[in-house]
Structure formats: C-alpha cells, structure tokens
Structure 1
C-alpha cells in the first residue's frame, strides 16, 4: 500500500508538490534518504507543500507525480527492485517525456539505464530512460568528488561504487570531474542527463550540500505544475561551510 508519510498543508494553499520516493526499503544507502528530507525542507522554504509518497515493489503508482527521487543499494537490493521497475517502464518513460524532474543515485541510476551487468556476469535489465550502460568492476571508486556542471555549477558529493558506466548519444554528462573518478576511471565525466532526468553516483547525501540541484528539481516541477518558479530562499552559511569542508577532505 502506498505510504504517504509526510504531507504539509498550508491553509488556503494549492501549491502542492508530490515527491515520489523510489524503493526506500531497498535503495537507501550512504545517506540517500537525506535527499528526500533536504528536498522537502527546501520546497517548504520556497512556499510549496511537499507530499512524499514511498513506492516499494507492488505499490500502486500515484495519480500525479511532480518529482521522482531514488537512491542506491547493494546488488541484492537492485535485484529485488529491477523486476518491479521493468513493470513500470512505460510510466517512467511517460514522466520523463513530459519533463518531470528526477534524481537517481547509484543503483537506480544504473537501472534507469539500459542494463547493469554485475561483476559476476548477471544482467539486470534497466528501463532505458537514460542512455547509459553499466558493468560491474573489481575496483571500487571511493571518496569525495567534485564536478563542474555547465548549468548547475560546482557539485560536491561522495562516490562509492564499482560500476563502470558509459554514456550513449541520448544522454549527456551531469558534469566534468574536477576531483574523483566519476562514471568510470577514464572518461573524466560523471552522471548522465536526459531531459530533466539526472543520474549520478554522488551520495553523501547529495542534495543538502548542493542547493542548486535541489532548486533545479523544485523549479522544473513548479514550472510544469504552476507555470512559474520564483526562488524565495538563499543558500545558508551552514551549507556554504559544509561544501567547503567536503572539498578539502582527501579521497
């Protein structure tokens, strides 16, 4: 049964934003749940009413979705959700086609691509929203990572993965790697974007340290639903200090 576990209502307000949290029981490692918390808090600060709906295997899709967000998991967790995700392939392609913003971290980044081939040779078919393919490797890419994005600026996070992801022509990188490994040890790129869908290996969790990415997700959702987005909150000094501290830490 769908769990609506957070709904903040303001008297007389119609500025609701529905956030679909994908597979939190299985895909929630390295602080990825913090992305949902950061997104809801900043949405409130901008004057919206976030409603978070958890989607676990077998749950019905909600009638309306404004933002999709999902995290990473162990290979076993990916196996549990892969079949359920394939059953929803048409739903997520339809959402992507109309510009619904999505943030997909690590394991769900891989499953929103064409396929993930594990280090043991097992193939998990993805849904192909992102034009990427991933193969599990023997070496892990671990540590703080800094990217430069043309439209989102400097993005800071923490990577911990052994997947080697390559992009096809239907996706572009999220950013250029300034520090760290990224999609694989040789490309110099991290993540993937198709329309308003973002895939990335950045944990940490990502959003608390990157308000520009949060505002991209909220802004695209708000413009699609209400026709406009006017940011109404600045970046706090705490976030600025956290970003600076993360950049200084060695890998």
Structure 2
C-alpha cells in the first residue's frame, strides 16, 4: 500500500531528478535506473519529477535534488563531452560540491574523470570530478563484458558491464572491490569511483533494479539533503518517539536496507524518510547473479537475511 509522507511543515515530499542526455546516453537499459527511482518513490508517496537535460540545455543546480547520466557509444560521447564541459560544467560542479547525489554510468562516468582516450580520434576532455582517466586500447583489445559483482559497504552490488575503455584511478576512491567481473580495468579489482555524493560506475541499467539498497541510499541522500535539517531538528525535539514515528506521520527509521546491510555502514545520520518495501523479487534477482558468478556464500547470505 502506498503511503504518503509529509515534511515537518506539512508539505508533500518531492524530489526533482535531472536526467542528463537521455537521448544520447541510454545504452544497456540505463533508463531502468530512472524507472526504479521513480517506482520506489511512488510506492512511498514521494513525488519524483524527472527533467531531461539534452544538448545545449544549461544545468541550474538549485532546480534539482539528484542527477543521473548514462552510457553511450564513442560517437555519441564526443559531442556530449563538449556540451558537458562547455554548457553544463559550471552548474554540475556546483551541484557536486553542494553534495547533490549524482549517479554516472559507463560513458557518463568516463566523462566525469579527466579524459577519455578512444580507440580512434582525439581525447575527450572530462570534467575532472574523479581523479581518474580512461584509455581504449583498440578494437582488437578485450572488451569488459558480462555480469559483475562488487563488495560495497558491507554488502554486494551486482550488475552488467560492457566497456572497451579501461579506467585507472589516481587518488579517487573506488565505489567497491570486484568480486567477479572486470570493473574499472580488469587489473586492480577496483570498480567505479566516488567523490562526495557523486558515484561513477560501469554497471548499467540493471544496477538499481537489482540493488534496492543502493537505490534507497541515493534517495536517502537526496531527501536528507533537501529536508534533513528540519528532520534532524524534529528528531532532536522528540527523542522518545516510539517505533520511529512522530506526530507528523513521518517514518523516522535508521536505515532503509531491507535487512541486508547494517545501517551503520550506509547512513551517516539517523533520520531518514524511507520505509522498507517488499523487495523479495529484487533480492532474489540479486542472489541469482551472485550464484551465476560462483559467489555462493554471498548469495546464501543474501537469502538468509531476506528470510530473516
């Protein structure tokens, strides 16, 4: 049953997501990430507005609460790289430095690093958000294709990767450690990168559908960034509220992790707005990929926690 939550000032909860280059960067089901965020908000009575930001559109950071940029082929990435740097760069940097949650997948991830060197043609200049760079060693080099599983915050993330470029991290912190698959470069077991609340990854549109805890983590970051100060104040005023509920009807729950990941590893503050959903199918799909990759103990742990 969908629940409708109000803020401490009796306002409906809304989030606005900026979808960068929805027509150019949309490979391998990357729209599935948008659909997942929309659905998980809808089931909680939270309105998620999705606004497309195409070529030539400026990015006004105060108009959005979270951002998403997907992956594309090299021929699509070249004009996007120029537009990202020249048109959207200042606004995107401002949003990132203000801790807005940003998810960048594959090509989008590469363009948030220093540069992407394609198999043919000149380097594509990135924004340099991540201290990292990507090199495609030619069409005869092995592509990184297939299911992937990584360790993340005491749990696992699973997904699908398909990239010819190999990304190398400088001082950037990786999103996680590769358990099976290729990751950034098939060499150092790193996958993705993190800067503040910006997350780069090679896992495509199966990422959020098969990882409900990561989807909720992004939504939690966005909600706490927008409403957190008022919620923290409310939580401080009513420390004895029972069962995590208060007079405003808000669900003050320490972690929306569906029993899979210890809350302390996910959430820095205690007050968030996400109630748990029935994610049985999502976690079974998650466990199925772990089984397929031969990660039997990790799959069994997921299923045990799900039953518990």
TM-score by length of 2: 0.74
Q: Work out the CA distance in 1 between the residues paired with 2:153 and 2:59.
A: 34
Q: Is the 8 A contact 1:190 1:200 kept in 2?
A: yes
Is the strand fraction higher in 1 or 2? 1
Deviation at 1:206, TM superposition (A): 0.9
Q: Which residue number in structure 1 is paired with residue 163 of structure 2?
A: 161
Q: Which residue number in structure 2 is paired with residue 17 of structure 1?
A: 15
Q: Which residue number in structure 2 is paired with residue 106 of structure 1?
A: 106
Q: Work out the CA distance in 2 between the residues paired with 1:92 and 1:187.
A: 29
The 5-angstrom pairing of residues 142-221 of structure 1 reads 142-150=145-153, 153-169=155-171, 171-221=172-222
Deviation at 1:211, TM superposition (A): 1.0
Q: Is the 8 A contact 2:212 2:279 kept in 1?
A: no
Q: Which residue number in structure 2 is paired with residue 234 of structure 1?
A: 277
Deviation at 1:14, TM superposition (A): 3.0
Is the helix fraction higher in 1 or 2? 2
Q: Work out the CA distance in 2 between the residues paired with 1:58 and 1:139.
A: 35
Q: Which residue number in structure 1 is paired with residue 286 of structure 2?
A: 243
Q: Is the 8 A contact 1:33 1:205 kept in 2?
A: no
CA deviations 1:157-195 (Å, max 9, x no partner) are 0111011101111x2000000000100011111000011
Q: Is the 8 A contact 2:5 2:44 kept in 1?
A: no
Q: Which residue number in structure 1 is paired with residue 50 of structure 2?
A: 52
Q: Which residue number in structure 2 is paired with residue 97 of structure 1?
A: 97
TM-score by length of 1: 0.90
Change (3 A) 1:129 1:194: same
Give ranges in structure 2 of 5+ residues lacking alignment. 232-271, 295-308
Aligned residues: CA RMSD = 1.9
Q: Is the 8 A contact 1:144 1:247 kept in 2?
A: no
The 5-angstrom pairing of residues 121-132 of structure 1 reads 121-132=121-132
- Local SS of the residue matching 1:160: strand
Give ranges in structure 1 of 5+ residues lacking alignment. 1-8
Change (3 A) 1:215 1:10: closer
Q: Which residue number in structure 2 is paired with residue 3 of structure 1?
A: none
Q: Work out the CA distance in 2 between the residues paired with 1:29 and 1:162.
A: 14
Deviation at 1:64, TM superposition (A): 1.2
Q: Work out the CA distance in 2 between the residues paired with 1:162 and 1:28.
A: 17
- Structure number with greater CO (CA < 8 Å, separation at least 6) is 1
Q: Is the 8 A contact 2:21 2:53 kept in 1?
A: yes
> Does 141-150 or 59-68 show the bigger shift?
59-68
Q: How many residues align?
A: 241
Deviation at 1:44, TM superposition (A): 2.3
Q: Which residue number in structure 2 is paired with residue 68 of structure 1?
A: 67
Q: Which residue number in structure 2 is paired with residue 78 of structure 1?
A: 77
Q: Is the 8 A contact 1:45 1:233 kept in 2?
A: no
**4+ residue runs of structure 1 moved beyond 6 angstroms?**
9-12
Deviation at 1:233, TM superposition (A): 2.3
Larger gyration radius, structure 1 or structure 2: 2
